[in-house]
Amino acid sequence: MHDHAGKIAKAKRYAGERERFQFQQFQLTFKGDNNPHEVSYTQGKFKCDCDFFILEAWCCHSRALELILDKMLPEAEGVPA
C-alpha cells in the first residue's frame, strides 16, 4: 500500500525548501501591462524581448521572476535589488 499522505507532506516540505531546486533553463510568456513578453533563462542568464532589457540587460519582467524564484536561481550580478 502506498503512503500518499506521507508523500504529500514531503512534497509540501520540499516546496518550502526552495534551495533544493536549481533551474537550468526555461522559457515563458509574461503577460505585461501593455504586451506579452517572451522571457527565457539559459546558462545562468535571462533574456527578455522588451526594449528595456535590450538596453539594460535586465527588466521588470526578469526581476519579477528572480523574486518569485528566490533561491532557485544562482545569484545574479549587476541587477538592482
pLDDT value of position 2: 79
| Cα–Cα dist 53/31, whole Å | 15
- Residue 6: phi, psi to the nearest 5? -65, -40
**Which among 31, 27, 51 is positioned nearest to 39, based on CA atoms?**
27
pTM metric for this prediction: 0.77
Average pLDDT, stretch 67-80? Answer: 72
Domain limits of the chain?
24-75
**Which among 23, 7, 8 is positioned nearest to 65, based on CA atoms?**
23
**Percent of the chain topping pLDDT 70:** 90
Q: How high does pLDDT run on average in the chain?
A: 89
Distances (CA, A) of 73 to 18, 54, 57: 10, 21, 17
| pLDDT digits 0-9 by tens, 52-64 | 999 999 999 999 9
| pLDDT digits 0-9 by tens, 28-57 | 999 999 999 999 999 889 999 999 999 999
Q: Give me 42's grid cell.
A: 539559459
